[in-house]
Amino acid sequence: NGHYQTIANANILLERIGSADMDATLRSRYVAEAKFIRALMYFNLVRFFGDVPLILKEIRSEAEAYTYLREPAAAVYAQIEKDLTEAERDLPATYTAAADRGRATSGAARALLGKVLLQQKKWAAAETKLQEVVTANTYRLLPSYADVFAPANNNNAEIVFAVQYT
C-alpha cells in the first residue's frame, strides 16, 4: 500500500505541475525526482510480486482504481527504464545545500537504472550504465569500511542514495 501511495503522489505531481507558476528549471527537477521515486517504487514491486498494476496517471475515483489489472513484468520494467532515463537527464549531479540532502541525483538514477538492467540480465547495458556511475567521480570508496557507518559521516562519498530521517 505504501508503494502505491507513493506512486499516486508522484503521478499527481506529474499531472498537475505543468499548471504551476514556477521556475522552469525547478519544475524539471521536481518532475525528474517524481519519476525517480516512481521508478524506485515500481522496481521494488516488480521484484516482490512480478506482474503488478502499472498506474501512470492520477486516479480520480475508486471505480477508476478497479479498472487497473496486472501488467506483465516486462512492461513494468520498460516503464522503470523510461522514467529513470528521463530522470537522469534533469537531475543534478550533486546538491550543496544541507536541506537538499537525500534528494535524488543523476548518479542515483544511473545507479538504479544499472541495478534494474542487472535484474533483467541485460549485462552489457548494465555494465555501461554502472561504469558511468564509477567514472563520474562523484562517488568513491572510503579508506575504512567503518567510516561508511560512522554517525559523523552521514551522506559520505559511498552513499549513492539514502532516505533522510529525522
Residue 36, all three cell numbers = 525517480
**Residue 115: pLDDT band with limits 50, 70, 90:** very high
**Residue 48: pLDDT band with limits 50, 70, 90:** very high
> Helix (H, G, I), strand (E, B), or coil: what is residue 124?
helix
**Residue 55: pLDDT band with limits 50, 70, 90:** very high
**Residue 51: pLDDT band with limits 50, 70, 90:** very high
Nearest alpha carbon to residue 102 among 45, 161, 32: 161
Specify burial of residue 9 (Cβ count, 10 A radius: 0-12, 13-18, 19+).
middle
Nearest alpha carbon to residue 104 among 31, 27, 19, 21: 31
> Helix (H, G, I), strand (E, B), or coil: what is residue 68?
coil
3-state DSSP helix/strand/coil % of the chain, to nearest 5: 60, 0, 35
DSSP class of 20: S
Query: Given this model, what pLDDT does residue 14 score?
Result: 98
Condensed to tens digits (0 to 9), the pLDDT of residues 58-80 reads 999 999 999 999 999 999 999 99
Note whether 80 and 39 are within 8 A (CB). yes
Average pLDDT, the chain: 94
Query: Given this model, what pLDDT does residue 73 score?
Result: 98
